[in-house]
Structure 1
């Protein structure tokens, strides 16, 4: 056992001391934070001057529907002028309406010297559709049509509240739960695949360089394999912990600087949501604080470790069985496809976390670490979570045992590339 600890320490220090690891560990939280905050910051930046859009409405009934905003200023035009085609006109686009759109839907066109932005197309379509609906309703001779249209155009979004175990109510948000589950799912997918690949790469390098022949003279092959798997896995866990701490601190500082209300206390957020039920921001803040982050974090670590042990043992067996990097493709492809299937199953399960696909895939040990994390924010039954973990870790132990059998034979074999049939025979050797 002491030799196993020495191997674990060697593998851990060999990777944790690399400049690339240190640099990636420090920079990645800033990249994650930038990915989250940059779209928000850019969305807050508005153009200093609204773009001018000329509306040439020859029917005279659509112009009133065009309302100015921070991005566009709509001005009426009598006719299409030649100067609109030049850069010196200062006109960004021209909306030309030549006839009643109910009679001729093709009678409206947007002209511009550049590609039409989606934001402008959306505004124009909304304005035209509003008038078209109004014109259609006029034919029914409905009294007080304007008041009816104002009421009709108002939208409603219902609040979602869930009961806690003690019967109290808590603000919830399905979109937030789905997003948090998907983030954890993608992290597990990336880390299991990347760190499992590191195990295979490490085994192949030592086998190619013939270093392993010296190592197995003083340590058992199984101890060598376990030491590699645990040592590299600890590197991943430490990196995840550092990223979590740094990312939380970065988002907290950035949030306070940008005035994001998500940093308020849970009680304050809950009061805001109850006192102002129409505030989407307040409800979102309350739902964020009502997520069981401790439970999600614990299950994330457990599923990450279990999934890593399964796939790392498979990668270790593959690395010990082959001699060239090119030979690994035929073995890696099925594993990669299996993990891609698990990721797609997790994405599909986001809309139905208690459906048959989500339930079955959260029990299959090769997909459960990825799929289960989507179900956790939606309060999956505890017995299903526990059963999934039992199957996961039971399979992990079995895969480690099988990988150990293959590893002890394959690590010292050179030249011929083994087939799957030969590798199955290695498992039965005593």
Structure 2
């Protein structure tokens, strides 16, 4: 691969996740403190990610894969996203905000698959080359948090009070416009198929027959259920840190991305030494531990507990979700590989997190003291207990089996 191509793909990944990390982490703080939204409205805003994940396969499967080059539709979607981000920055109420964030996520979620398609189309050895490109996405997310917290101070106590988090949407609008234009310079990635696909194929429903396997069925159900406590983190972790007085919450949340890189490197060794079941159980247990740390930590005497809770993100995500992708790949075989991955994505980021965002919103509303104050130690006990139950059920019901790890 040419150095110029490596730079193009890395810069694409950097901007792709800089954009997402630049507004998604602090949106809960912004909605609560600037627009006066309650937990239910915040849940609606975050659940647009799930609606985007559900609709994305149709955009990719029915349009991008058959009629247009991937880099061109990537450019169009990000240019549309830039306009919607600008509108988000100017929304004065939640009612005005919601249609734009819904439209944005419907446009953005398909780009996650498109940047992978553009990358893989240029790689001769994806298992070795892709991680070096994908890591720049994590760097982009981290840099976005540093910009918000350290450079512009938008999520400082005074910045939040002055409504400066509105600028995160403007920053991401500019980045989205840059990526939109830049995408048209990317290497050509022509349509991968000219055949007409059925709805069941696009949604991965062809892989439903895998659910006849008892172990895969248990894994599938556990994957949906564990997304419920996951939604609490995505929706309320940044909100929680800001409300309890943690300085520069966006920067602190970036610790989770550093952790993700570290544990991604550790995962192959752990997986090959201890096997799939133990690896995924460690991932599940980490969710319970994280929420207990959030419940009993505070920004004064127990500040370290909050930081450890954030740093557990690498174990929570990599050991469960990445291990799950490997397991799904091994169970599906060549014929149903893509369908199986699509089915798991639809079930987790679509259905599971959609339910989770709704439950998280209802829970935070139930423990609201005022519009800007909640009994967080009680809130975090719910996802901690839920994750613990999923852990126990999976440990008892899933029979250990050997799964090959292929890098």
TM-score after normalising by structure 2:
0.31
Higher normalized contact order (CA 8 Å, seq sep 6+, divided by chain length): 2
Higher fraction of helix: 2
Higher fraction of strand: 1
Considering only CA atoms, is the larger Rg found in Structure 1 or Structure 2? 1
TM-score after normalising by structure 1:
0.30
